[in-house]
Chains A and B, each alone.
Chain A
Amino acid sequence: MRYLPTAPSEDRALLDAIGVDRAEDLLQGIPSHLRLARELDLPGQLSEQEVLRQMAGLAAMNTAFSSRFLGAGAYDHFVPAAVDQMISRQEWFTAYTPYQPEISQGTLQHLFEYQTLTCDLTGLEVGNASLYDGGTSCVEAALMAVRLQKKRKTILISAGLHPHYQEVLCTNITPHEGLKLVVVKLKDGVTDLEDLALKLDGDVAAVLVGYPNFLGCVEDLKAIADAAHAAGALVVSVTQEALAFAWLEAPGKLGADLACGEAMSFGNNLNFGGPYLGFLTVKDSQKREIPGRVVGQTRDLDGQVGYVLTLTAREQHIRRDKATSNICSNQGLVTLRANIYLQLAGPEGLKGLASQNAAKAQYLQARLLELPDFSAPFSAPFFNEFVTRYQGDVQLLQEECAKAGILAGLDLTPYAAELDHCILWCATELNTREQIEQLVEVLARVPSQVQ
């Protein structure tokens, strides 16, 4: 076995030094009746080329699409070669959590820079070293808001929040018996301010709102924040497409108290949904309630600037059941991808990319609406995603696109009754005009069903 340092003479030398005859003799701590009396019923070991063939075979069972118009929380952006090259250095990808700061300054300084950038993007003051993904970031943000608000126990979530985020929230909030999740309705694709006002009572700890929301619509975060603050509630801005921060004003500047969401868009492949990058930023006054790892700047014995994991009194290894969260890792290597990506892009690159995304999505929408069976159900501004209503059979449309090598938008029918026959489309800098024209061509051929 190529990864195991076995060799008869060396194995003997180790066993002799320990004073046992066979390795199995070291299992004496496991009572014999609890040991597995047979071999595992699994295939035998394989050479590298056999493994590669087997895995490549699985990969080939997936359809290879030549263009994709699907987002909905997982975005297809170009990944610069520098990202993959850099994270392949063993110093980055094989290292552990930076618990020994003297030999982890690379990871620590990177995380300090990453925290700086998430604060910059969101317009808030303190960021953690990341959370698992967009959905779980909502859970951590909601629980933090409840801790900050002490006696308030209701969490309002806009119906425009990604439905999977809503489900992750519901799963994780349910065990907290005192807490209540209440959904605020949508009107014309955005949070209904009247319904919000109605539900903002004195028990509301926080309002979670998608910015932009799941339907691609840009919410007026300022109006929502003003209403929430007037009722004493905190506002959590949830962004599932972090590139939107280069198109839309930073949530912190519009009154959001916490900003969380998904930042996989920065330097990551789609990876069938993970690993992705949950982020969370808060106000400075709230920093001691933030969950997850946080890196801080300090000095060493010689007065040299260095970095350490800090504010650890919040964390599970110190506070145990009183910790701000049970989280014990971060998305280490994914934060590195994001940091490298953001540094390469810089302010102009990021704004340029965002502008290209908006341009592509607007062009795609315009071309789709020229087709007889497509209409726009919402009028709110959007970034790189939008909804169309389609007269025909959505699944048939998806299949016809697939035959042409195109991954079509998301069928929204299963998500809500009022979204029947709706499709959520996404376009990014990767979608060329040619791809868009090809899509339109295919759609024009799909037989529409008369309702």
Chain B
Amino acid sequence: MTTRTREPLIFERSVPGKTGMDLPRLDVPPARDTRPAHLKRSGFDALPSVTEVDVIRHFTRLSKWNYGVDDGLYPLGSCTMKHNPRINEKVAALAGFADTHPLTPAAHVQGNLALLYTLQEWLKEITGLPAVTLQPSAGAAGELTGVMLIRCYHMSKGARRRVILLPDSAHGTNPATAAMAGYDVIVVASQADGTVSFEDVTDASGKVQKGLDTLLSELKEDVAGLMITNPNTLGIFEYRIKDICEALHKVGGLVYMDGANMNALVGVARPGDFGVDVMHLNLHKTFSTPHGGGGPGSGPVACTAALEPFLPRPVVVRETAQEGEGQVARHRYRLDWDRPLSMGKVHTFFGNYGIVVRAMTYCFSHGGDGLKAATLRAIVNANYIRKELAGVYHMEYQTPTLHEVILDDSGLAQYDVHTLDVAKGLIDRGFHPPTIYFPAIVHGALMIEPTESEGKAEMDEFIAAMKDIALEAASNPEALHQAPVLVGMRRLDETTAARKPVLRWTRPQ
């Protein structure tokens, strides 16, 4: 296979008169033009006139410029790039699911409602929390739903509460979400092992960051809740999570757990057992629904019984009827809109149902035993890479990690080689780079998450590539500064892109 160096924008291929879609013969009288003159569509400036051949070739060529999970190890930390089973795609495309209208009367979508109900039951067992909504469209939407649940809870008690606490290792969506839910954000310090600190922490520059105890005693009833990722963004389990939850509960605050890393806990530990009040799950991470080049995702939220009344509506309800002696119980499902305390809706309909179908398929395939086996294997894989690269790359935190490992570039600085260079060097060696420069509390972070999908041979090739880059940093740093050179596109000028934005094609004058 060879890849062309450039595929023109489709607009440059347009030839008026061509089309890629033939319309059916119109079998009713043509439309009368009822539009007022000024509301009649004038024309299009960009929409191209091309054939199906042009379109198929265009997107086939473009696709070859992408790296996918099937190309090889894709170790993006926190993103959980596991294999996407093909059966999940086939099932989601079944006409019985794909052709169902969201406003169909409940009696005619019993299969869909049963599926929603069943996945909710699985997620309850997995999280140890008694209520679940599948409505949020993505992780960030799940976070927002969760924080709005916290808000509804406090408001129902007549308390405004102004502050959401979060650790400095938090993903950027956490503070942005808290702000969108109307809260002020205050950061809690991390201690030397990378977990949330109860005590104040003095950093190298002498600046004191407040720990959880100080913040809770100062803010008291102003604290609505704490958002915490567990395992945290360093892959480290917050071993004092139960104490953290108790400390929050003591001042009447609630704990939101960001479940981005739940794939390290499924079958092994349950947030509901830690004292967590509400959390989200990323179906596109833990449950392997495809990332699709950036989405669509799905971000179900699980919560305690105290928060359940505030969940988005409608809620799927199951009613069981025993039809006569000795008969098998029959389930009927309906959508309950009559939820007086509900926060309302967070999606136009019921969330990304097509994604939910894929996640349900994934769950049935794995079963409870397979889900746990996947968790353990993901942890083994991450620790294998950690072990093999320890000593080759610097590691800021020596604390045991679960499903991912954070290396950094501090050992390479002497050669003027940095994390970005390591990432680009990996591209030339046939791998997608890890997540870079995140979490921000590790300078020059390389966040590696192999997932359970990788066998030893694949990982050994990746490890060899990482070792090769470390050697090249010392012997020929310039080669890494120039990388990538083998993929048809070199490093791109992002500064000019942001300063003089060109955000769409316009017809040349």
Contacts and interface: CB of A to CB of B under 8 A. Distances in A.
B237 A30 contact: yes
A126 B347 contact: no
Interface in A5-61: 5-6, 10-11, 13-15, 17-20, 23-24, 26-31, 34-36, 39-46, 48, 51-52, 54-61
B220 interface: no
B175 to A, nearest CB: 4
Interface stretch (B103-111, B300-308, B411-419): B103-111
Contact of B28 (A31, A313, A359, A395): A359
Q: How large is the interface on B (under 10, 10 to 19, 20 to 34, 35 or more residues)?
A: 35 or more
Interface string B445-464: 00000001111100000000
B320 interface: no
Most buried by A among B58, B66, B68, B69: B66
15 contacts: A59-B91, A62-B100, A93-B290, A95-B293, A100-B423, A112-B505, A121-B44, A135-B347, A143-B180, A170-B344, A175-B180, A317-B173, A329-B296, A331-B295, A355-B30
Q: Which 8 A-B pairs have the closest CB atoms?
A: A273-B349, A59-B96, A273-B102, A61-B111, A171-B344, A42-B368, A333-B292, A175-B182
B267 interface: yes
A417 interface: no
B376 A275 contact: no
Nearest to B313: A167
Contacts of B107: 63
Contact of A109 (B7, B266, B352, B452): B7
Given A62-B109, A127-B504, A17 B345 contact: no
A73 interface: yes
Interface stretch (B247-255, B470-478, B494-502): B494-502
Contacts of A76: 99, 101
Contacts of B452: 3-5
Contact of B103 (A11, A70, A220): A70
A328 B345 contact: no
Given A95-B66, A126-B503, A105 B489 contact: yes
B296 A344 contact: no
Interface in B163-204: 171-173, 175-183, 185
A224 to B, nearest CB: 12
B26 interface: yes
A404 B61 CA distance: 46
A222 to B, nearest CB: 6
A275 B137 contact: yes
Nearest to B270: A36
Interface in B86-106: 87, 89-91, 93-105
A326 B102 contact: no
Contact of A164 (B185, B292, B348, B364): B348
Interface stretch (A202-210, A303-311, A442-450): A303-311
Given A52-B91, A109-B9, A345-B20, A250 B401 contact: no
B45 A120 contact: yes
Contacts of A106: 62-66
Contacts of B498: 296, 310-313
B207 interface: no
Contacts of A398: 105
B346 A59 contact: no
B293 A96 contact: yes
Interface stretch (A149-157, A192-200, A227-235, A429-437): A429-437
A107 interface: yes
A269 interface: yes
Interface residues of A, number: 206
Nearest to B456: A10
A244 to B, nearest CB: 9
Interface stretch (B208-216, B321-329, B353-361): B353-361
B274 A349 contact: no
Interface in A362-392: 362-363, 381-382
Interface string A110-137: 1011011101110001110110111110
A31 B239 contact: yes
Given A94-B70, A348-B49, A28 B137 contact: no
Given A164-B348, A346-B18, A346-B48, A62 B69 contact: no
A187 interface: no
A419 interface: no
Nearest to A177: B182
B51 to A, nearest CB: 9
Interface string B111-147: 1101100000010011010000000011111011000
Contact of A51 (B42, B346, B364): B364
A344 B90 CA distance: 24
Contacts of B185: 320-321
